[in-house]
Structure 1
Amino acid sequence: MEPATLAIGQLARATGTKVETIRFYEKTGLLPQPARTEGNYRAYTSEHLGRLSFIRRARDLGFSLDQVRELLELADDRDRPCGAIDAIASAHRAEVERKIRDLQALKAELDSLIDQCSCGTVAECRIIEALSPNV
């Protein structure tokens, strides 16, 4: 008995991925090319579903496509120590922490501008003043 296969639309629905994105992942090598049916339709297997789910989850966590590619290569070698995976995840976490600090600084700056608002006229608006160069 042949294993069940999925059409691209079914794979897209099962993973919450757009069809165009699946094709992009195939083109870039993140997702292996599927076999084709007699009618030349893509026939995805459970392995494709698992790999695409992995890609989606990694992307949802903010890993770059290059990082996802590295993680997939490492995941394909099941006997390898996971130190390289830890290094990728740690580097990504450091980048997330940097972005959080940047966003917190941005929030503080916006809070300061908003707190300076006296709700007067636009001509007196501290926010417009702060946004306008040399005004």
Structure 2
Amino acid sequence: MEREQNGLTIGAVAKAAGVNVETVRFYQRRALLAEPDKPYGGIRRYGADDVARVRFVKAAQRLGFSLDEIAGLLQLDDGTHCDEARELAEVKLADVRRKLKDLRRIESALAGLVRDCCMSRGKVSCPLIDTLQKQ
């Protein structure tokens, strides 16, 4: 499907990509997706390449890439820049690992506070509230 008279409407692109129309428009405003010319008195038409691009953006978002990072990945989407794409993925992976480490620390702290709260039933002060007030 190419951008021709019988191409896809923005609604059809959104449906095919599993997003809503506002998402397509948002991607256009962020320059992640080109906005086709609007013929005089007509409506904009999109092609299958536009659907694929929206799907690419959504897939990259699911992997945790920001829209700015996705814009960089889209510059590499011809498939010949594997080293550059790998470097971006390595940076993202390091970021994910750092966040997981932080989440494990938070989990441990909260588990301890919950345990302390359970052990202090009947006491006047709550260990969780006390800890937060001391921070």
When the two structures are superposed, what TM-score results if normalisation uses the length of structure 2?
0.85
Unaligned runs of 5+ residues in structure 1 are: none
37-46 or 9-18, which deviates more: 37-46
Percent of paired sites with the same residue: 36
Question: Is the 2:5–2:45 Cα contact (8 Å) retained in structure 1?
Answer: no
Deviations 1:42-82 (A, max 9, x none): 21100100111101100111101121111110113x4x341
Question: Is the 2:13–2:51 Cα contact (8 Å) retained in structure 1?
Answer: yes
Provide the C-alpha distance between the structure 1 equivalents of 2:5 and 2:95, rounded to a whole number of angstroms.
41
Aligned twin of 1:44: 46
Aligned twin of 1:114: 114
122-131 or 101-110, which deviates more: 122-131
Provide the C-alpha distance between the structure 1 equivalents of 2:7 and 2:122, rounded to a whole number of angstroms.
65
Aligned with 2:57 (options 42, 55, 58): 55
111-120 or 59-68, which deviates more: 111-120
Aligned twin of 1:6: 8
Aligned twin of 1:105: 105
Question: Is the 1:122–1:128 Cα contact (8 Å) retained in structure 2?
Answer: no
Question: Is the 2:17–2:52 Cα contact (8 Å) retained in structure 1?
Answer: no
CA RMSD of aligned residues (A): 2.3
Q: For 2:115, give the aligned amino acid.
A: D
Alignment of 1:28-107 (within 5 A): 28-36=30-38, 39-76=41-78, 78=79, 80-107=80-107
> Quick one: higher RCO (CA 8 Å, sep 6+), 1 or 2?
2
